[in-house]
Structure 1
Amino acid sequence: MVDSTATEKDGAGFKIIYQILITMLVIAIIPLGGLWYIGIHKSRQQWTANIYRNLVENTEHLTRSVDDWTNMNLRLLEQNAALPAILGMDSNGQNPVLKAVTDTYEWIYLAFTILPDGQNLGRSDGKPVTFYGDREYFKQVLGGKPMGQQVLLGKTSNKPAFILAKPIKGEGAKNHGVIAIAMTLEDLSKTITKTRIGETGYAILLDDTNRLIAHGQGEVSSELQDFSSHPVLSQRNRFDHDSFVFEDNGKKIVAFSKRTGQGWTLIVQQDYKEAYAAADQAQRNALLLLLVTLATVIVIAYLLARRLSTPIRNLTLIADEISRGNLNAVIKEKGRSDEIGALARAIDRMGVSLQMAFERLRKR
């Protein structure tokens, strides 16, 4: 009987302390966890918006730079096309002017003129003339377009080159021929894509057929590169409809694209890990802070649970002693001013009443 009672008392004590502990933890953890989740979620959303805004701003800035760079070269062509030495359509007069162009602008490796029949007339490099009538930029200008452009393997450099061309027009807007400049893509990449975004962010410039004009990492091979399969252009490997996060060669990237004034495409991209590095670090720090806070809450809740359950267990033991006839048990909790103190004083009065009743019974 004694063992059964002791077991009952121990079980009751176990239930009280841990019920109090679990209740306090639930009350603390639910709002704390909710606030943490909401804070992390909103922080992630804000960081995503910042990354997107940064990509857009960099893309727009570079687009303006590309347009300014292109317009500068077109003005260069227009100004030289209007010079008497060029309008004279004589190679002896044109060659010094064309040579001055390549000497002044380091990214231009060849300046040249073409007759309406496609035959090369003047050259800045002094090499033998060649036939350019099969070139798309030449056909564009003779077809009436205000400018011609093409990415191709240069006949002079045997490397991928970017060509800009303008008509040579004399009196009456008669087309005397074409003036053009050729630029290697390596030099062009250095000139127009100097902007870096962190350690992994860079820009890619493509022509209207998605051929590479310039690459921020200088990755221009000896062959013409078609970037039509880039995930930003093909919209493949997109993580959701409204996302700017893509997968490129097994690696997640953030990217944004914009058309330039000439119909080219500028892509700005950055590794996903670097773009979200600060956000991920903030999330890890917040999680660490949450774990520390939870550990502190658990310790405090346990101490409070013990503080509340210990006097209750003591009073339970005293009540049990009184029920066994031990009316001299000392109740330490009588001095408390809370509900536990009131319970202790009630048990003490009960013990006194029982003593008085026993005394009356003995006197009879």
Structure 2
Amino acid sequence: MKITTKVPLLALAIILAFFFALSSMQYKVMRDALYSTWLNNATETSKGVAKYAAEWLDEKLVIIDMMAHAISGNYSSEQVQRVMDTPLLRDQFVLIFGALEQDGKPLSNTPSWDPGADWDGRKRAWYSQARAADRAVFTPPYNDSATGRLLISAVAKIEDHDTFKGAFGGDIELQTIADIINEVDFNLKGYAFLLDRNGTIISHPDTRLNGKMIDTFFAINTPETSDGFIKTTAEGKEILLKFTPLELKNRETSLMIGVALAPRKIMAETEAFKIIALVLVLAGTLITSLVLYFALNQLLLKPLVALTKSADNISLGELDIKIDGVERTDEIGLMAKAIERMRVSITFAIDKLKKG
């Protein structure tokens, strides 16, 4: 193989290796940065949605607390009904309900609400929950038996100053918050869902999972809060999970927002960059190699071929030729001068022999 072929091929191999190494490093840096950015964005989004949901729910508790205070300051059964009929409660809650300790009969701001003749509010779980709390609290989420709507109730006790008289509360359409949460899809790379601390899925984009435990779909037993994402699987596919609790003002709630991301979908964006980088590497290598080839050909290989031909001609006795390159100051020039001196020396020796 001629040196005119070897040199460009060697240069091509070196350039290709360099560009490939550089591209690989850039790809890794870009991939890690993209991955980290997606996780950070998902974290901030979940915090934002959790904050919005918490503020929305806090507002409902404050309203119930205000109504409880209005009843306690001027207690009577008539005052209880007047407060329950307040337009603000009708605007903010699906239904206002309650019962007094004296008989447990239903109270409501909706005359058509009829839980039945045997209904006794004192036997309901929300009644006991309200009685045990100092301020308004939330019941666990539930689906209304009549409408199937996802509800949660804010309940508080009814007092005559400090004497317990009963309990009341308001139903809240939790589906409003659930819909906002479920609409978060992280650009089709994941989703958010609503659940409680025990792992019961309350609202999931796949409605078949609503009401089921988290371990029926994800390979974890209970939701755990952490700074980072939890690596697990769902239906045999890798999933990243993060749970953000709803933080109410000086109150507790079992509600949480879960975020599920599909790593393969996140990394799919880097595949496009990988292909582009590969094309650019090949194109850059080809262009650089061609430029280097023509540069070597003009500056080194072509002069070397010319000098080699001149040396061959001298060896054949052609001493009246012109040696190209003697004017150059680089290594090619040095070689040309050496051949020129050889030509002159041979010419001088031959002339001397002829005269001798």
TM-score of the alignment, normalized to the shorter chain, above 0.5: yes
Counterpart residue number, 2:40: 53
Question: What are the within-5 Å matches in structure 2 for residues 148-167 of structure 1?
Answer: 148-157=138-147, 159=148, 161-167=150-156
Shift of residue 302, structure 1, vs aligned partner: 1.9
70-79 or 31-40: which moved more?
Answer: 31-40
The whole-number CA distance in structure 2 between the counterparts of 1:112 and 1:198 is: 41
Deviation at residue 68 of structure 1 after TM alignment: 0.9
SS in 2 for 1:177: strand
| Paired amino acid for 1:127 | W
3-state SS of the aligned residue for 2:81? helix
Aligned with residue 195 of structure 2, among 185, 206, 225 = 206
What is the aligned counterpart of 1:291 among 282, 285, 288? Answer: 282
> CA separation in 1, counterparts of 2:324 and 2:12?
29
Superposed displacement of residue 145, structure 1: 7.1
Equivalent in the alignment of 1:309: 301
Q: Cα gap change, 1:363/1:200 in structure 2, threshold over 3 Å: closer, same or farther?
A: closer
C-alpha distance in 1, partners of 2:4/2:209? Answer: 77
Relative to structure 1, the CA distance from residue 291 to residue 50 in structure 2 (aligned partners, 3 Å threshold; closer, same or farther) is same
The separation in 2 between residues aligned to 1:134 and 1:328, in whole angstroms, is: 124
**Distance in 2 of aligned mates of 1:100 and 1:143:** 28
Aligned mates of 1:350, 1:235 — CA distance in 2? 91
Query: Which amino acid in 2 is paired with 1:153?
Result: N
Q: How does 1:179-198 map to 2 (within 5 A)?
A: 179-190=168-179, 197-198=186-187
Closer/same/farther in 2, CA of residues 360 and 59 from structure 1, 3 Å limit:
same
Q: Which stretches in structure 2 are left out of the alignment for 5+ residues?
A: 248-252
- More displaced 10-residue stretch of structure 1: 351-360 or 23-32: 23-32
- Any residues of structure 2 matched to 1:37-186 within 5 Å, and which? 37-84=24-71, 88-89=76-77, 94=81, 97=84, 100=87, 103-105=90-92, 108-115=93-100, 119=104, 121-125=106-110, 126-129=112-115, 130-131=119-120, 136-144=125-133, 146=135, 147-157=137-147, 159=148, 161-171=150-160, 173-186=162-175
Contact kept in structure 2, 1:111 and 1:179, CA below 8 Å: yes
Give the alignment's Cα RMSD to 1 decimal: 3.9
The residue identity in structure 2 corresponding to 1:313 is V
Count of aligned pairs: 341
DSSP 3-state at the match of 1:170: strand
One of 242, 260, 264 as aligned partner of 1:256: 242
Q: Determine helix, strand or coil for the equivalent of 2:146.
A: coil
Structure 2 Cα separation of the partners of residues 243 and 268 of structure 1: 9
2:253 maps to 1:267? no
- In the alignment, what sits opposite 2:250? none
Q: Distance in 1 between matches of 2:208 and 2:122?
A: 26
Secondary structure at 1:169 match in 2: strand
Change (3 A) 1:43 1:329: same
TM-score by length of 1: 0.74
**2:114 partner letter:** P
Quick check: 1:114–1:132 contact (8 Å CA) kept in 2? yes
**Residues 131, 312 of structure 1: alpha-carbon distance in 2 compared, 3 angstrom cutoff:** farther
Of residues 178-187 and 60-69 in structure 1, the stretch that sits farther from structure 2 once superposed is: 178-187
Q: Evaluate the alpha carbon distance shift between residue 190 and residue 80 of structure 1 in structure 2; reply closer, same or farther with a 3 A threshold.
A: farther
| C-alpha distance in 2 between matches for 1:103 and 1:251 | 46
Alpha-carbon distance in 2 for matches of 1:118, 1:24:
96
Render the CA deviation track for 1:312-339: whole Å, top value 9, x for unaligned.
Answer: 2332233234334444455333343422
CA distance in 1, matches of 2:302, 2:54: 79
* Cross-structure match for 2:339: 347
Q: Choose 201-210 or 127-136, whichever is displaced more.
A: 127-136
Determine helix, strand or coil for the equivalent of 2:152: strand
Contact 1:160 1:223 in 2 (8 A): no
- TM-aligned CA distance change 1:250 to 1:228, over 3 Å: closer
Q: Residue 112 of structure 1 contacts residue 179 of structure 1 at CA under 8 Å; is this kept in 2? A: yes
Report the alpha carbon displacement of residue 26 of structure 1 after superposing the two structures with TM. Answer: 5.4
| Distance of aligned partners of 1:342 and 1:200 in 2 relative to their CA distance in 1, 3 Å threshold | closer
What is the distance in 1 between the residues matched to 2:180 and 2:16? 56
1:192–1:100 distance in 2 versus 1, CA, 3 Å: farther
| Cα gap change, 1:203 to 1:288, in 2 (>3 Å) | same
1:231 and 1:77, CA in 2 relative to 1: closer, same or farther beyond 3 A? same
- 1:69-111 CA-to-partner distances (Å, cap 9, x unmatched) read 1211111222233344995457x96388258466413xx4332
My pick for the range that moved more, 54-63 or 139-148, is: 139-148
* TM-aligned CA deviation for residue 343 of structure 1: 0.9
Report the more deviating stretch, 196-205 or 60-69.
196-205
Once residues 59 and 335 of structure 1 are traced to their aligned partners in structure 2, the CA distance between those partners, rounded to angstroms, is: 74
**Separation in 2 of the partners of 1:274 and 1:321?**
69
Report which stretch shifted further, 67-76 or 128-137: 128-137
Distance 1:323 1:94, change over 3 A: same
Secondary structure, aligned partner of 2:213: coil
CA distance in 1, matches of 2:310, 2:103: 114
Structure-2-length-normalised TM-score:
0.76
Q: Which structure 2 residues correspond to residues 24-39 of structure 1 after superposition, within 5 A? A: 24-25=11-12, 28-39=15-26
